[in-house]
Amino acid sequence: MTCKHFILGLGVLAISLGMPGAGSAADDAALMLWYRQPAADARPMDEALPIGNGRFGALIFGAPARERLSLNDSSLWTGDENPSGDYGSMGGYQVLGNVYVNLPGHTNVTDYRRDLNLANAMSEVGYEVNGVKYARRYFCSRPAQVLVAQLTADRPGAYTGSVEVADGHQGKLVAAGNRLTISGKLDNGIGYEWQLLAVPHGGTMTAVAGTNSTRLEFKDCDSLTLLAAADTDYAFDYTNHYRGPAPHDRVAAEIDAAARRTTTELESGHLKDYQSLFNRVKADFGPVSEVQRKSPTDERKIKAFETVDPGLAVMQFQYGRYLLISCSRPGGLPANLQGLWNDNNDPAWHSDYHANINIQMNYWPVEVANLAECHLPLFDLVTSQLPAWRKAVATAPEFKLADGSFSRRGFAVRTSHNITGGMGWRWDNTANAWYCQHFWEHYAFGRDTNFLRTVAYPIMKETCEFWEDHLKSQADGNLVVPNAWSPEHGPEEDGVNYSQEIVWDLFNNYVQAADELGVDSDYRDKVAALRDHLATPGIGSWGQLLEWRQEKHDAKSPELDTRDDHHRHTSHLFAVYPGRQISVTRAPALAAAAKVTLDARGIDPSSDVREWSFAWRVALYARLHDPDHAYDMLRHFFAARNSSPNLFGLHPPVQLDGDFGITAGIAELLLQSQAGELELLPALPKEWPNGQITGLRARGGYEVGLVWRDGKLVSATVKNVSGDGRCQVRYGGQQAALTLARGKTQNLSAELQ
């Protein structure tokens, strides 16, 4: 390509690649997870399909004779403030309960299908038995705050059976008419309630008290509608021990209000709300084969490990967005290790907030994938936990200052934490700074100055003060983080590069924040000086980016820092992604060393590389402008050992950071903005030669659309959503400087020779 500029056009060159429109049949087919069999009752997290409204949701199993809905409320946690940091007593995320719909005789079914439509956030089940076609539709409404289940048939009076519930914690069950109310308290005092209302259409329904339970029996019904709602008395309020009003009145009001509306009205409100977020981004990475189109998702996923499937890549990209919308909405809690969904009161790793990458990875796609509102729960949780975290640090011997006194400013976080001030396992010293990156990124993409001033900046400054107090000077004048660790790998020592890079990121972002607000100029300069004296990563004997200050050649630990080190974590590559200290343009030598390290970490089946590891490596290779390896990492995510039939990431067991991380990684292949410019198609895989995407967001307050053909950019649109109007755009060797008023869109066509 010899041309070094863009043509700024008046219109976008129209390239038809079959990108579906909102709500079209093509959209439904392209974004449909579907299966020929129900989810196995023993494999809920691997096979059942998730729905949610941000805080309340369910796993849908789709069994004809005994349907199961496994319900969750994101604030149902055991544990408390836990000042000791003992992981075993930190508590964990809990199951709310299960709803069962029993349909005797629905055994030898034909034409079975269950699915999840990402375009409308609805799950459906269909089958035929004894000549009758049965259908179920499920959605979880954000506006109405209820889960809706519609059971219909093509013959009147076809439904006879029962509905029963099983509480996750042996709460009190009360039946009143067609309503079941379940309430109770956990050991830590959190109160909860959930209600189920069954509305028969035709036929009869009766509450029947059994020996161990109460069930609702229905007979000869034409159809059946179930409404469920739930809540707890949890609140983001440390001063009141994270407790708020009892949930009964809210839950009852939600059920009552929903019962007064038709299912059509409930569905309409659900669609309007959900699609206002989901439809912001449309993507098409190229055609799929007839075999791929007609294969159920569990089979198609396995084949995508071996054969290029652009459609499944789009589905996985949009699945991450779907999951974020479904489990992280304003006013609620952020996505935990399993997002919102959980079938076990003793889930792996407590289904907690793992602060050494996992929870951060959950939110990597949120800004670039145009879901900025879904970021807010993370900020609310962190802010609410600060009083407890400050108190824990102020008495922690690990954070004593050089004069022997206890820490006086700031907070730190252990590797795991809950929602009530409690933490567990070992300290991850710089997780405080990593959390601050998310506060900054929300501003960088959206440029909400009020958010920066009132929410982000105070926490960023407090964290800078903490590290000002705790950094350690070396003889050469460099500053290092003392007693650091490279999760979850190697020794604890001063100046581990993972921690160095995260503190550099904090200081660099703080300097920009102070400049944006025009405040604290003296302290801003002090932090800039601290940043510039931080020890930076070195390069080892075989060209690798060092993980520790000195290259390791420990006979007792020969795996450390060697070519055979296939560890799942690549913690010292934080500076490449999600950080921005190392880039191919600004620090090419370090970027080259980072690639040597990344290549050496490998994907050997005998290694412990996991689903989230592959997701991170997609983004890392994208930042290093290596689309071939990036695509290979994406391909490996589809392997049976790395993701489940329902596309949940499989650590194993299931955790969802890989799903969110893959979405972020795919976005990085197509658009990057961390270097102060919009870089278009920086790492486009050759496997997607023709495609387009609209609605991606970029730092600086811009929204970008792209069309490419034969592996080359054809056209782009840049919209100034909230930026200052000055924007630099790069595509390969071509550059354009845009001046764009807020709210306006500029069309660019690449002149290709």
Structure confidence by residue, pLDDT tens digits, 262-321: 999 999 999 999 999 999 999 999 999 999 999 999 999 999 999 999 999 999 999 999
- Cβ contact 153:165 at 8 Å: no
> For residue 120, which amino acid is it?
N
φ, ψ of residue 339 to 5 degrees: the values are 75, -95
The yes-or-no verdict on residue 584 having pLDDT over 60 is yes
Q: What is the dihedral of CA 38, 320, 265, 74, to 10 degrees?
A: 80
Task: Report pLDDT digits (tens) over 195-226.
Answer: 999 999 999 999 998 766 789 999 999 999 99
Counts of helices then strands in the chain (DSSP H, E): 18, 33
Segment 69-73 shows an average pLDDT of: 98
Q: ∠ CA(702), CA(705), CA(711), 5° rounding?
A: 130
608 against 489, higher pLDDT: 489
How far apart are alpha carbons 342 and 71 in whole angstroms? 8
The yes-or-no verdict on residue 4 having pLDDT over 80 is no
Confidence (pTM): 0.96
1 against 657, higher pLDDT: 657
Angle between helices 611-623 and 657-670 (to 10 degrees): 20
Task: Report pLDDT digits (tens) over 157-202.
Answer: 999 999 999 999 999 999 999 999 999 999 999 999 999 999 999 9
Please give the pLDDT value at position 430. 97
Please give the pLDDT value at position 29. 77
Segment 388-401 shows an average pLDDT of: 96
The yes-or-no verdict on residue 752 having pLDDT over 70 is no
CA-based max dimension of the chain: 85
Burial (0-12, 13-18, 19+ Cβ within 10 Å), 473: exposed
pLDDT band at 635 (very low <50, low <70, confident <90, very high): very high
Q: Is the dihedral of CA 176, 179, 182, 183 positive or negative?
A: negative
Any idea what DSSP says for residue 674? T
- Cβ contact 735:728 at 8 Å: yes
The yes-or-no verdict on residue 14 having pLDDT over 70 is no
How far apart are alpha carbons 4 and 10 in whole angstroms? 20
Percent over 90 (pLDDT), the chain:
88
The yes-or-no verdict on residue 687 having pLDDT over 50 is yes
How far apart are alpha carbons 336 and 673 in whole angstroms? 27
Q: Which of 622, 627, 585 lies closest to 733, judged by CA? A: 585
3-state secondary structure of 602: coil
The yes-or-no verdict on residue 39 having pLDDT over 80 is yes
Angle between helices 376-394 and 431-446 (to 10 degrees): 150
How far apart are alpha carbons 692 and 15 in whole angstroms? 9
Segment 419-441 shows an average pLDDT of: 97
Angle between helices 457-470 and 521-532 (to 10 degrees): 50
pLDDT band at 400 (very low <50, low <70, confident <90, very high): very high
The yes-or-no verdict on residue 119 having pLDDT over 50 is yes
Segment 250-254 shows an average pLDDT of: 98
The yes-or-no verdict on residue 3 having pLDDT over 60 is no
Cis amide prior to 578 (ω within 30 degrees): yes
CATH 3.40.225.10 for domain 297-670 = no
The residues with which 193 forms a beta bridge, in sequence order, are 183, 231
Please give the pLDDT value at position 610. 86
User: Domain 36-284: which topology?
Assistant: Beta-galactosidase; Chain A, domain 5 (2.70.98)
The yes-or-no verdict on residue 18 having pLDDT over 70 is no
How far apart are alpha carbons 313 and 315 in whole angstroms? 5
Relative to beta strand 712-720, strand 745-750 is antiparallel
What mean pLDDT value characterizes the chain? Answer: 93
Segment 228-255 shows an average pLDDT of: 98
The yes-or-no verdict on residue 13 having pLDDT over 50 is no
Query: Which residues, including other chains, have CB under 8 Å from residue 700's CB and lie 6 or more apart?
Result: 444, 445, 447, 673, 678, 723, 724, 727
Helix (H) or strand (E) holding 135: strand 132-141
How far apart are alpha carbons 653 and 349 in whole angstroms? 10
Per-domain residue ranges for the chain? 6-15+690-750, 36-284, 297-670
- Cβ contact 191:163 at 8 Å: no
Task: Report pLDDT digits (tens) over 481-539.
Answer: 999 999 988 889 999 999 999 999 999 999 999 999 999 999 999 999 999 999 999 99
The yes-or-no verdict on residue 561 having pLDDT over 80 is no
- Cβ contact 319:647 at 8 Å: yes
